[in-house]
């Protein structure tokens, strides 16, 4: 097992990519703190349409250890409490995965200012806060890891001004934090998913999904497990000399750019 007994926090882990990461971590022996605004997995109109058990229940069914902490990452105190509860329960922290995200589509003309602020609060400010509260514990770990979930949209637009801008900023946040914590052996990296089959795609039309399928070079769209396995790699000893990097996991979606 690549992550045996390592203590991890995964935000937005009840559904979608976060759930995929949490389950892959559990399979590799990690203790997983599932942080989300709701414990029940979301059901989408295109993907993950059937009800499923909570992530922590699936972790326990796999023989692993997991704990759910209700967390709204747009609130500073809830992030602080998430880290505190993790330390209280497990006695430390080895891996922080900042996955929780929000996308409100629109142009600069029809996106309201408070919508912009809401997206940036979840997609960027929350990552700063969770990093801030986690670093004192990660630097005490022999295996300290921070993994931010960005997007292929870090390299260009196409998903709204707030989302694309926030994901570009996430890449540089990872780089900047890597300079801060490298001396302690803590690595900080970002994963950039392409189209992944999750309920977060509900805002799309079938025509939009088909266009993304055609743009993806490999013969299928991505699954949460694909990002989960990449996260396992970055969290494991195999990636102990990789930091300040961004890994694109997109089936070739942006290869032609």
Q: Which positions are annotated as active-site residues?
A: 163
Could you list the beta-strand ranges (E) of 21-113: 31-36, 65-70, 95-98
- Please list, residue by residue across 214-225, b when 16 or more beta carbons sit within 10 angstroms of its beta carbon and e when fewer do: ebbeeeebbebb
Sheet strand arrangement including 31-36: 65-70, 31-36, 7-11, 95-98, 145-149, 187-193, 246-249
Give kind and range of the element (H or E) at residue 45: none
Backbone angles phi, psi at 197, to 5 degrees: -75, 95
Whether residue 149 contacts residue 193, with contact meaning beta carbons closer than 8 Å, is answered with yes
Give kind and range of the element (H or E) at residue 12: none
Residue count of the chain: 257
Query: How many other C-beta atoms can be found within 10 angstroms of the C-beta atom of residue 91?
Result: 9
3-state secondary structure of 79: helix
135/180 Cα distance (integer angstroms) = 10
Burial of 167 from C-beta contacts in 10 A (0-12 / 13-18 / 19+): buried
Identify the CA nearest to 224 among candidates 198, 192, 194. 198
């Amino acid at each position: 097992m690549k992550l045996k007994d390592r203590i991890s926090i995964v935000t937005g882990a009840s559904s979608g990519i976060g759930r995929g990461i949490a389950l892959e971590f559990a399979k590799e022996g990690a203790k997983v703190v599932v942080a989300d605004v709701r414990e029940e997995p979301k059901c989408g109109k295109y993907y993950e349409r059937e009800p499923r058990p909570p992530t922590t229940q699936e972790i326990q069914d796999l023989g692993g250890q997991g704990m759910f902490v209700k967390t709204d990452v747009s609130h500073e105190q809830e992030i602080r409490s998430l880290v505190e509860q993790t330390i209280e329960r497990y006695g430390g922290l080895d891996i922080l995965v900042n996955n929780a995200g929000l996308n409100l589509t629109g142009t600069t003309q029809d996106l309201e200012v408070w919508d912009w602020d809401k997206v940036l609060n979840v997609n960027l400010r929350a990552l700063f806060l969770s990093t801030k509260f986690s670093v004192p514990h990660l630097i005490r770990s022999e295996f300290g890891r921070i993994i931010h979930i960005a997007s292929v949209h870090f390299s260009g637009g196409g998903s709204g001004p707030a989302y694309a801008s926030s994901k570009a900023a996430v890449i540089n946040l990872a780089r900047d934090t890597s300079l801060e914590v490298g001396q302690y052996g803590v690595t900080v990296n970002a994963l950039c998913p392409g189209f992944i089959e999750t309920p977060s795609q509900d805002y799309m039309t079938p025509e939009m999904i088909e266009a993304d399928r055609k743009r993806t070079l490999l013969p299928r769209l991505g699954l949460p497990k694909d990002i989960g396995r990449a996260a396992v790699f970055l969290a494991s000893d195999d990636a102990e000399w990789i930091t300040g990097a961004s890994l694109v996991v997109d089936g070739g979606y942006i290869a032609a750019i």
